[in-house]
Amino acid sequence: MRTIVAVIGVVLVLSGCGHVERSVTKGQVADTLNDLSDRKHLKFRGIGAAPTESKDLTQRRAMSRNAALVNGRLQVLAYLKGVTISGGITVAQAMEIGGEIREQADQLVRGAEEETAEYTSDDGCVVTLRIRRADVDKLAEGEGASGRR
């Protein structure tokens, strides 16, 4: 009896902790894409499609995933450019000058972790990327990203 209760408890705990919001339902991109961010991470979606002339399933999926990753990283960059840093200027304005802010923003974009990759029925792909809020806060304070992934 104890074993059964323990197993049920573990299943309930794991099912609650492991929930990931799906972007693709029944082979289609969801009509409404909710904000996925949490207290530790900012999350971004990228959507990609393969060229129609691609005939091989593996090739279509690889190309659509690559396109989704590029689109997701563009979403991250667009967000970062809007962050206000010390002195009241934005990251985009500081990037025009160049220097350390540009390097730090590039590091955050390149270091965005791929959390999920979901395929649609037509072999398109939706990826979810995440970056740590603490790294964005450090960028805003002018301290740079931690380098931890």
Q: 67-108: per-residue pLDDT in tens?
A: 999 999 999 999 999 988 877 888 888 888 877 888 898 999
pLDDT band at 4 (very low <50, low <70, confident <90, very high): very low
Give the Cα separation of 143 and 87 in Å (integer).
14
Using DSSP, state whether 65 is helix, strand or coil. Answer: helix
Give the Cα separation of 95 and 114 in Å (integer).
25
For residue 7, is pLDDT > 60? no
pLDDT band at 140 (very low <50, low <70, confident <90, very high): confident
pLDDT at 47: 94
pLDDT at 107: 93
pLDDT band at 148 (very low <50, low <70, confident <90, very high): very low
Secondary structure letter of residue 89 according to DSSP = -
Of 140 and 69, the one with more pLDDT: 69
